[in-house]
């Protein structure tokens, strides 16, 4: 019943337009609502989408202009199969939003209610994403379709000769499994994660995209519930990584393959200029350890090289991209302290330092794993002693630099500003960051099944004069 890979056309989500703008702010309205879509040809799949679209519409904003997004929860009172109430909390992942707008898991909006989220857009240009973060149902809500890209551009990025416009392409990658009646299949009994047998790019199973003979920039977001990938091209050509989660790298990195955990964003430039017309290039996935693989999960999408004429401007990658990104200038010496975070499995639950989100709730939100002062630079040492699993760990609020992994330098594709770090089996990863902003923020595993069961805690940034 599943489509053959590379038979369905590639598409990108539409760009969301503000319904109102004033001197400082763009106002958007988004309705979360149910839809039926023919994801697998011949089957109707019930989904939930931002504005009824899966993936949701892409938001594009300019640095320095504030966004106000009204998020209306028009979802049904019960999930069609799982019988829970889809309360929602929208997180703009990659934004230093104030705590009340950060999509706190316990700050829920029930069906029939809405919430206005305010985003400052003051940070460096980057690919962010907005997705659901509703308490204990994030995995199901995101699998149903509540995820989309949000692109922030700044003047530095605009000044570079890198691909733009139609050659700057979002790739939101996810995986899913479908029951014979078309419904999504929820394997929510396993706490290790949800792994699908279908790989979707922008909601289409293994699509094929026509490309012109030039360079393209792909903003790859791994929006999967649990799956991590390792990308490579079947032509053997390298990819040039130009940006990580929190924006442009100091320098581009040419790689043959790279690993990509859930919630990470990597932007790559692929050069099709030397490929003959008619050539098909396949983006492949050689799965990292501890994923569950199926027949075609080693394939992602294909590019067919066509003879069409094209615009030759913005067709190069300079040797320097953003060498002065403040997060990337930090060194271990700048840190005033080092903190340890241990990822462990206890009593069938995933925990951080032995704590779960339920412990945070039970403490009336007093429990914090760390309380840096505003402006402090700290090293966080994240240790995975949970045995046999990897954890993509996301720290809200901050951009960090990866110092080392088991004492060794980060991999080439990780040499940029980050907000999620892949912590493999028995790995200890050190990151360094400056804490700016104030208040309580979440830290969690972005394998959403782990997050929901209950590998999530919080930290609090204190005012520096308290
Ligand atoms: Cu992308 Cu706390 O999430």
- Per-residue confidence at 118, pLDDT binned at 50, 70, 90? very high
Q: Give dist(CA 387, CA 394) in Å, integer.
A: 19
Instruction: Output the average pLDDT for the chain.
Output: 96
pLDDT digits (tens, 9 = 90+) for 151-189: 999 999 999 999 999 999 999 999 999 999 999 998 766
Residue 415, pLDDT above cutoff 80: yes
- Dihedral pair phi/psi, residue 254, rounded to 5°: -85, 125
Domain check: are 134 and 179 in the same one? Answer: no
Domain check: are 252 and 176 in the same one? Answer: yes
Q: Which of 104, 126, 153 is the last residue before a domain boundary?
A: 153
Question: Closest Cα to atom 3, ligand 1: which residue?
Answer: 93
310 lies in a domain? no
* Minimum-distance ligand 1 atom for the alpha carbon of 396: 2
* Minimum-distance ligand 1 atom for the alpha carbon of 129: 1
314 lies in a domain? no
More confident residue, 220 or 466: 220
Q: Which of 103, 120, 153 is the last residue before a domain boundary?
A: 153
317 lies in a domain? no
Number of domain units in the chain: 3
Centre of ligand 1 to C-alpha 308, Å, is 40
pLDDT digits (tens, 9 = 90+) for 28-56: 999 999 999 999 999 999 999 999 999 99
Centre of ligand 1 to C-alpha 245, Å, is 12
How high is the pLDDT of residue 104?
93
Binding pocket residue ranges, ligand 1, CB within 6 Å: 91, 93, 131, 133, 263, 394, 396, 442, 444, 446
Residue 465, pLDDT above cutoff 80: no
Residue 453, pLDDT above cutoff 60: yes
93 lies in a domain? yes
Q: Give dist(CA 400, CA 345) in Å, integer.
A: 25
Q: Identify the CATH number of the domain in which residue 359 sits.
A: 2.60.40.420
Centre of ligand 1 to C-alpha 93, Å, is 6
Q: What is the mean pLDDT of residues 403-412?
A: 98
Residue 228, pLDDT above cutoff 70: yes
Centre of ligand 1 to C-alpha 1, Å, is 33
Q: Give dist(CA 277, CA 118) in Å, integer.
A: 47
Domain that holds residue 141: 8-153
Q: Give dist(CA 248, CA 161) in Å, integer.
A: 13
How high is the pLDDT of residue 385?
86
How high is the pLDDT of residue 1?
80
Cβ partners under 8 Å of residue 410, min gap 6: 402, 403, 404
* Minimum-distance ligand 1 atom for the alpha carbon of 131: 1
Q: What is the mean pLDDT of residues 199-203?
A: 98
Centre of ligand 1 to C-alpha 133, Å, is 7
Domain check: are 443 and 331 in the same one? Answer: yes
pLDDT digits (tens, 9 = 90+) for 372-384: 999 999 999 999 9
Collapsing DSSP to helix, strand or coil, 448 comes out as helix
* Minimum-distance ligand 1 atom for the alpha carbon of 105: 2
3-state helix, strand, coil in the chain (%, to 5): 10, 45, 50
Q: Which of 107, 131, 153 is the last residue before a domain boundary?
A: 153
Question: Closest Cα to atom 1, ligand 1: which residue?
Answer: 93
Domain check: are 141 and 251 in the same one? Answer: no
Lowest average pLDDT, out of 135-139, 196-200, 416-420, goes to 135-139
Q: What is the mean pLDDT of residues 233-243?
A: 98
* Minimum-distance ligand 1 atom for the alpha carbon of 420: 1
318 lies in a domain? no
- Per-residue confidence at 227, pLDDT binned at 50, 70, 90? very high
Task: Indicate if the alpha-carbon torsion angle 437, 440, 441, 443 is positive or negative.
Answer: positive
Q: What is the ipTM of this complex?
A: 0.99
């Amino acid at each position: 019943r599943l489509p053959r890979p590379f038979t369905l056309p590639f598409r990108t989500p539409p760009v969301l337009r503000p319904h109102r703008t004033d001197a400082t702010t763009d106002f958007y309205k988004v309705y979360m609502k149910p839809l039926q879509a023919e994801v697998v040809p011949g089957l109707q799949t019930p989904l939930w989408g931002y504005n009824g679209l899966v993936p949701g519409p892409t938001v594009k904003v300019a640095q320095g202009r504030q966004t106000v997004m009204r998020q209306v929860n028009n979802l049904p009172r019960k999930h069609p199969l799982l019988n829970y109430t889809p309360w929602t909390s929208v997180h703009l992942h990659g934004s230093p939003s104030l705590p009340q707008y950060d999509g706190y898991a316990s700050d829920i909006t029930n069906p029939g209610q809405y919430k206005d989220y305010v985003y400052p857009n003051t940070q460096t240009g980057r690919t962010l994403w907005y997705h659901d973060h509703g308490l204990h149902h994030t995995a199901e809500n995101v699998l149903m379709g509540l995820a989309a890209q949000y692109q922030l551009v700044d003047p530095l990025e605009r000044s570079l000769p890198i691909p733009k416009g139609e050659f700057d392409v979002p790739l939101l990658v996810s995986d899913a499994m479908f029951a014979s009646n078309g419904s999504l299949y929820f394997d929510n009994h396993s706490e290790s994660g949800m792994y699908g047998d279908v790989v979707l790019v922008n909601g289409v199973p293994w699509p094929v995209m026509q490309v012109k003979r030039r360079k393209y920039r792909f903003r790859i977001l791994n929006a999967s519930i649990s799956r991590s990938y390792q990308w490579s091209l079947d032509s053997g050509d390298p990819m040039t990584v130009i940006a990580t989660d929190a924006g442009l790298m100091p320098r581009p990195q040419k790689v043959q393959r790279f690993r990509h955990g859930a919630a990470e964003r990597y932007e790559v430039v692929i050069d099709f200029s030397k490929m003959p017309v008619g050539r098909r290039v396949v983006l492949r996935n050689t799965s990292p350890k501890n994923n569950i693989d199926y027949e075609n999960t080693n394939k992602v999408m294909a590019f067919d090289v066509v003879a069409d004429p094209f615009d030759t401007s913005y067709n190069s990658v300079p040797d320097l991209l953003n060498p002065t990104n403040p997060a990337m200038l930090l060194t271990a010496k700048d840190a005033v302290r080092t903190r340890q975070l241990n990822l462990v499995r206890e009593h069938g639950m995933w925990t951080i330092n032995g704590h779960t989100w339920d412990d945070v709730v039970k403490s009336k939100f007093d429990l914090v794993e760390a309380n840096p002062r505003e402006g402090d630079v700290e090293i966080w040492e994240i240790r995975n002693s949970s045995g046999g699993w990897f954890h993509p760990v996301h720290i809200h609020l901050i951009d960090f630099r990866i110092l080392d992994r088991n004492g060794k330098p980060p991999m080439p594709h990780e040499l940029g500003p980050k907000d999620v770090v892949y912590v493999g089996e028995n790995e200890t990863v050190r990151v360094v960051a400056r804490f700016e902003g104030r208040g309580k923020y979440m830290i969690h595993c972005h394998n959403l099944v782990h997050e929901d069961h209950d590998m999530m805690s919080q930290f609090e940034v204190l005012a520096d004069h308290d």
